[in-house]
Amino acid sequence: MRTALRPDSLIRLVPSVFLPSLVFEIGIGALTPMIALSSRALGASVGAAGLVLALLGLGQILGDVPAGMLAARLGDRRAMLIAAGVAAVAFLGCALARELWQLALAVGATGATNAVFVLARQSYLTEAVPIERRALALSTLGGMSRIGAFIGPFVGAVVVHGHPVRNVYWLALGCTLAAGLIVLLAPEAAGAGPARGRTSAPVSVRSVLVRHRRVFLTLGLAILLVGSVRVTRQTVLPLWAEHLGLDPSTTSVVFGIAGFVDMATFYPSGKVMDRAGRLWIAVPSMLVLGLSQALLPLTHGLVSLTVIAVLMGFGNGIGSGILMTLGADVAPPESRSQFLGVWRLCADSGGAGGPLVVSTAAGLGSLAAGIVAMGVAGVLAAVALLRWVPRYSAFATTGSRTRGTAVVAKGVPEPHAPDSSSRQQG
Query: By C-alpha distance, which of 319, 10, 378, 68 is closest to 195?
Result: 68
Helix (H, G, I), strand (E, B) or coil at 194: coil
The whole-number pLDDT of residue 406 equals 42
- Mean pLDDT (whole number) for 250-273: 85
Query: By C-alpha distance, which of 86, 61, 14 is closest to 349?
Result: 61
The whole-number pLDDT of residue 195 equals 46
Is pLDDT at 19 greater than 60 in this prediction?
yes
- 191 Rama class: left (phi>0) / alpha (psi -120 to 50) / beta: left
Helix (H) or strand (E) holding 305: helix 302-317
Query: By C-alpha distance, which of 387, 113, 356 is closest to 227?
Result: 356
How many domains does one find in the chain? 1
Q: Is residue 1 part of a domain?
A: no
The whole-number pLDDT of residue 202 equals 63
Q: Is residue 347 part of a domain?
A: yes
Structure confidence at residue 1 as a pLDDT band (50, 70, 90): very low
Q: Is residue 261 part of a domain?
A: yes
Is pLDDT at 426 greater than 50 in this prediction?
no
Weakest mean pLDDT among 87-91, 158-162, 370-374:
158-162
Helix (H, G, I), strand (E, B) or coil at 218: coil
Rounded Cα gap, residues 37 and 248, in angstroms: 7
pLDDT in tens, 163-219: 788 889 999 999 999 988 988 887 765 544 444 434 345 677 788 889 999 999 999
Q: Regarding predicted confidence, which is higher, 425 or 322?
A: 322
Q: Is residue 51 part of a domain?
A: yes
Q: Is residue 5 part of a domain?
A: no
pLDDT in tens, 271-298: 899 989 999 999 999 999 999 999 999 9
Query: By C-alpha distance, which of 384, 383, 392 is closest to 426?
Result: 392
Question: Domain containing 385 — which CATH number?
Answer: 1.20.1250.20
Is pLDDT at 302 greater than 60 in this prediction?
yes
Arithmetic mean of pLDDT over the chain: 82
The whole-number pLDDT of residue 199 equals 39
pLDDT in tens, 39-49: 888 888 877 88
Q: Is residue 4 part of a domain?
A: no
Q: Is residue 425 part of a domain?
A: no
Residue-range definition of the domain harbouring residue 400: 11-194+204-416
Q: Cβ of 290: how many Cβ atoms within 10 Å?
A: 24
The whole-number pLDDT of residue 404 equals 47
Query: By C-alpha distance, which of 190, 72, 80 is closest to 123?
Result: 72
Rounded Cα gap, residues 111 and 118, in angstroms: 11
CA atoms within 13 A on the CB side of 302: 11
Is pLDDT at 335 greater than 50 in this prediction?
yes
> What percent helix, strand, coil does the chain show, rounded to 5?
80, 0, 20
Query: How does DSSP assign 347-383, residue by residue?
Result: HHHHHHHHHHHHHHHHHTT-HHHHHHHHHHHHHHHHH
pLDDT in tens, 49-81: 878 887 887 888 888 888 877 777 777 778 888
Q: Regarding predicted confidence, which is higher, 114 or 189?
A: 114
Q: Is residue 262 part of a domain?
A: yes
Q: Regarding predicted confidence, which is higher, 141 or 189?
A: 141
